[in-house]
Amino acid sequence: MTTRSKGSGYLSERSPGVWRLRVELGLDPLTQKRQTINETYRGTRKVAQARLNEMLAQHAGRPASSITVGDLVELWQRTSEHRTETAKTYAYALKHLPPQLAERKARDVRLIEIERIYRSLSTAGVGLHMIAKLQSALHTAYANGVRLGLVPSNPAAGARTPKIAKRATTMPTADVVAKVLEAALERDLQFGVWLDLAAMTGARRGELIALTWDAVDLKRGVVTIRRSISKGGEVNSTKNDKTRHVPIDATTVSLLQEWRSAQRERAIAAGVELAADPYVLSNVADCGQPWRADGATQRWRRLADHLQVAKGVRLNDLRHAHQSILLDSGEVGLPTVRDLAGHSAVSQMTLERYGHSNAASMRSAIGVLRRTITSSDS
């Protein structure tokens, strides 16, 4: 009787000198269907047996899954725990996955094929950042497949995408930051409050947009950053899922007090009551809705275009300036800068071994920052 267990093989003569070779791969873990490798071979029984032995050696230990690249990607997307905005970004990048690759058996794809596809996409005009995101998706989907035993290896590991030219960093100096804050306040109070918070706390755009008044302690001069709002309006925890308490100085406190009074007056004029948990940055009378992330960025771009000294400066460069000015002062250590900015990984700010800063050193750092900006504008 012919043995049909996984890893076994056999041959049968279909007609004189024509042999059918078969290698059993066992059951597909997804479909539970029997998987085999078949080949027709012409020659003597001896050479046919030699070819069968080659096939057995070639497929020894090969996972018995016929899952396609498209199936592998779909499985990863269904089981991943990405935030909505991240999932959308990956989904958009995966639209550039060529159908001929998506339909291939995942176990048969080779690294050279993947890199060839990336080059073709680049030639066709697909953005390099999008190709890099596609590589990230494929790499992770395959890694998930390897973990589940659905594919033997990850051909996307180490795949190279076309190089992305590094953007020259336009780091705002203290003088530029001072001029930006002055110009923002001249435009309107709320805009000035936002950029002052951005420059003085080093908080991310989404973190400031998500800020509600219950997270602002004006008496103690502390802002608690615990949430962030994505470009799509999704409310999440902070980037590293940690809450941080950032001190603010008397100038920022004064601006916030003035803006809070203005919000109340605006609500009264509109005949509405403030929302139960009003946002600090809001264009609606009851402050129940936060700013849109893209709207905030557009406002910044208009200001940057208006100010000759700020041309080419991105909104996120204010965050970098916050860190750079503090470090350049020589009065503030890396742990304090790291904690103010909300970094967590050693690779981001390094020197994790030096420990954490305390509230006093953080408040002192804010004083250094304000003094540096103010003196540069005089």
Q: Which residue(s) pair with 222 in the sheet?
A: 217, 247
In whole angstroms, give the CA distance from residue 245 to residue 224: 4
What does the block give as tokens for 265?
A: 């007056």
Q: Is 45 exposed, middle or buried (0-12, 13-18, 19+ CB in 10 A)?
A: exposed
Q: What is the pLDDT of residue 349?
A: 39
Measured CA to CA, the distance from residue 353 to residue 356 in angstroms comes to 9
301 residue type, one letter:
R
**Nearest 10 degrees: Cα torsion 318, 374, 361, 354:** 50
pLDDT at 116: 93
User: Distance between CA atoms of 122 and 99, rounded to whole angstroms?
Assistant: 17
Tokens standing for residue 64: 């018995």
pLDDT of amino acid 114: 94
89, 90, 93, 99: CA torsion to nearest 10: -150
Q: How many CA atoms lie within 13 A of 143 on its CB side?
A: 10
Tell me the Cα Rg of the chain.
30
Report whether 154 contacts 114 (CB < 8 A).
no
Instruction: With CA atoms as reference, report the closest residue to 204 among 334, 316, 369, 100.
Output: 316
CA dihedral (306, 307, 308, 311) in degrees, to 10, reads -80
Query: What is the pTM assigned to this prediction?
Result: 0.59
Q: How many CA atoms lie within 13 A of 252 on its CB side?
A: 27
Q: What's the pLDDT tens digit per position in 115-131?
A: 999 999 999 988 888 99
In the chain, which stretches have pLDDT less than 70? 1-7, 27-32, 57-65, 165-170, 327-359, 361-362, 376-378
Integer Cα distance of 272 and 267 in angstroms:
5
pLDDT in tens, 300-325: 888 888 887 777 778 887 777 777 77
Say what the alpha-carbon torsion angle 129, 134, 135, 138 is, to the nearest 10 degrees: 170
Residue 43 CA to residue 358 CA, distance in Å, equals 81
Cα dihedral 46, 50, 56, 59 sign: negative
- Give the number of other CB atoms < 10 A from CB of residue 111: 15
